[in-house]
Amino acid sequence: MSQTPATPAKAFASQADLEDKKISFTKLSEHAYAYTAEGDPNTGIVIGDDAVMVIDTQATPAMAQDVIRRIREVTDKPVKYVMLSHYHAVRVLGASAYRPEHIIASDDTLSLIRERGEQDKASEIGRFPRLFRAVESVPPGLTWPTITFSGKMTLWLGKLEVQLLQLGRGHTKGDTVVWLPAERILFSGDLVEYDATPYAGDAYFTDWPQTLDNIAALEPVKLVPGRGPALETEAQVAAGLASTRSFIADVFASVKAGAAAGKDLNTVYRETLQAVRPKYGHWVIFDHCMPFDVSRAYDEATAHRDPRIWTAERDIEMWKTLES
């Protein structure tokens, strides 16, 4: 008696994303640059009078070398600080390449590294093979901050004031933005995306819109989002804030309604995809992010105020459940 072959599990959408992206190195001011790559994770650069700060590092030291090459095209000042906007591996594992004097993160980000850094590292490397090119260049262990703070920290790079601000939870509980008050330029990390789908697996959907309002209250004239091109006008900044806010609100509203009606996660996922795909389906990594985003939103709308830890095993189980 013959048996029907088992259908292979559908791979993560990101595993089919193998095409290199065009990199841009955009000068925003005498002191601020944005390293962007068509929706891949961005890196920010602040050049002070005597030193450089790098904001988010790329995923591996080998990939960080291209950032360093571009920094060296515009300055020979040393990279004194690496700033981690949050704890995700794709943002932090390239830190060693810069040989900074200090790695800075919020106290909340440090707590997340301690609690779930190892699991996140294994999880993200499994999801995003292209973004972890030359993963063997990552040194053993995790990226640990040498300086942490809570709420606000001010640094002076010579005469340039650089503020590190926690404006609220959103993408994670440890989110930190970098603010240049004299120039009104802001580096948002993944609190803001532009034409790229927010990953919300560690998110606080209820808090995120207010955090975006807190960013808007600073009235930035330029903004480097976590993904997508640098926003170089006030109109572009407003559009980036508004589109991120609307995505978070639309996804959570759909999920909350389904959960309140007693529907299971699979049903809520299918209905939410149908509801939001027409407006956001063209954004980068939409198909990859949505299972994680809806799973987290469903948790928050039901029994889990704080995000559960994503492991490589949980990733696969969730993906099979929702996408098989």
Supply the DSSP string of 229-280, one letter for each residue. S-B-SHHHHHHHHHHHHHHHHHHHHHHHHHHHTT--HHHHHHHHHHHHHHHH
| Residue 167 clears pLDDT 50, i.e. is over it | yes
CA 158 to chain centre: 29
Inside any domain, residue 3: no
Angstrom distances, CA of residue 83 to CA of 147, 177, 295: 10, 9, 29
Find the helix or strand (DSSP H, E) in which 114 lies: helix 107-127
Share of the chain above pLDDT 90, in %: 88
Q: The pTM is what? A: 0.94
Q: Are strands 24-27 and 152-157 parallel, antiparallel or unpaired?
A: unpaired
Inside any domain, residue 83: yes
Inside any domain, residue 88: yes
Inside any domain, residue 140: yes
pLDDT digits (tens, 9 = 90+) for 184-243: 999 999 999 999 999 999 999 999 999 999 999 999 999 999 999 999 999 999 999 999
Inside any domain, residue 63: yes
CATH of the domain at 103: 3.60.15.10
Inside any domain, residue 251: yes
Structure tokens at 293: 């985003």
Inside any domain, residue 10: no
Residues of the domain holding 48: 21-323
Please report which confidence band the pLDDT of residue 285 belongs to, taking 50, 70 and 90 as the band edges: very high
- In sequence order, the 6+-apart residues with CB closer than 8 A to the CB of 242 are none
Count of structural domains, the chain: 1
Inside any domain, residue 8: no
